[in-house]
Amino acid sequence: MVISREEKEYLIKELIIELHAKYDGSHKNLIVPRCPYCGKEGGKFGIYVGVETDKKKPFMTHCFKCGHTTKDVNQFLTDIGRSDLKLEEHASFAPVQIPEFFRLEEQEIDDELCVVEMPKSWKRCFRNDYLKSRGFVNDDYDYFPVGTTRGLNFKFDDYVIFQVIDSGDVVGYVSRHTWSKDDIEEYNNRAKRNGKYQIRRYSNSTENDFSKLLYNYDAIIEDETDTVILVEGIFDVIALTRKLILYDNHRVVPVATFGKKISDTQIYKLQSKGVRSVIIAYDADATDAINKTAIQLNEFFDVTIAKLMGNGKDFDEMDFWEVYDVFAYNLKTPIEFKLNTLDEKI
């Protein structure tokens, strides 16, 4: 059945009123609080309103409580007593797969987090030579809590320690040694020979798995934040916020996944706040990881990829115009990006 755009929009509007439905985070499904077939409450009844694919037809419905599925929109409209909305043309659908309605399935996404204590003697700081050398300005200290143990906790001497916050709670910390990679390596080579302790570049909390965390998550405001820029680490988030002046801009929020990959829990966390589009901005060398992440995200969001220049610069090493160019001229669709990076490999 071909449904015109106008018909579709009209029908969606009617169904929202009739069934008290609302869009889920992906905007591809309507969630109905009470199943019209079994009467169970709890938002387990979904209506697919995304684009038509091989397996998913607009307005197919499914209840995850009673298992009732309808594939024919007119049948469904009759069932809910709205034959007046029936669409003219009739066609039978090929067998369809049940769409993955967000939050409807009894999925075992584990997003439980415990509160984490900061290392002993940690205190916030509002100036720091190392952070200054990485471009930190006053706002950065205000918006992104960071501190040191001020020489009172030898395990964290020479580290800066960032809080990872979720719903206002500290759920982790990332501490980064302030020496350069080369200096750390040199020290460690000597330490190895002398049987001394090695220095770790990072020394992070261990209570919550980092695949369940997103840095800067609280900056995403439900129904206000439309777009998330996905980056690898804390310094990328802060550099982007500073360079694009996003401190109080909640429409676009940079968020770090702590590495070049995203987990189901992290996807769920973005969805549950109603994020619609995601820009992947991982390092230029991470093409395979970017392609993989794009496929994962494409199911749930509008995905674009910010193609960083191949000069190996991180966001905090770029100047404003370099960052600007990335987002103004170098956004690719997943397919463009894939084709683009194929060229480079040949």
Q: Examine residue 34 and tell whether it contacts Zn ion (CB under 5 A).
A: no
Nearest distance, CB of residue 29 and Zn ion, angstroms: 15
**HSE-up of 273 (CA within 13 Å, CB side)?**
25
Number of shown-chain residues binding Zn ion (CB under 5 A): 6
Site string for Zn ion, 68-97 (x = CB under 5 A): ------------------------------
Q: Examine residue 63 and tell whether it contacts Zn ion (CB under 5 A).
A: yes
Q: Which is nearer to Zn ion, 37 or 130 (CB)?
A: 37
Q: Examine residue 98 and tell whether it contacts Zn ion (CB under 5 A).
A: no
Alpha-carbon torsion (342, 296, 272, 18), positive or negative: positive
Q: Which is nearer to Zn ion, 99 or 119 (CB)?
A: 99
Q: Examine residue 38 and tell whether it contacts Zn ion (CB under 5 A).
A: yes
Q: Examine residue 66 and tell whether it contacts Zn ion (CB under 5 A).
A: yes
Q: Which is nearer to Zn ion, 63 or 306 (CB)?
A: 63
Q: Examine residue 286 and tell whether it contacts Zn ion (CB under 5 A).
A: no
Q: Looking at 30-38, 174-182, 300-308, 324-332, which segment touches Zn ion (CB under 5 A)?
A: 30-38
Nearest distance, CB of residue 75 and Zn ion, angstroms: 15
Nearest distance, CB of residue 256 and Zn ion, angstroms: 39
Q: Examine residue 31 and tell whether it contacts Zn ion (CB under 5 A).
A: no
Q: Looking at 66-74, 252-260, 266-274, 283-291, which segment touches Zn ion (CB under 5 A)?
A: 66-74
Report the interhelical angle of 234-243 vs 320-329 (nearest 10°). Answer: 90
Q: Name the site residues for Zn ion (rule: CB under 5 A).
A: 35, 37-38, 63, 65-66
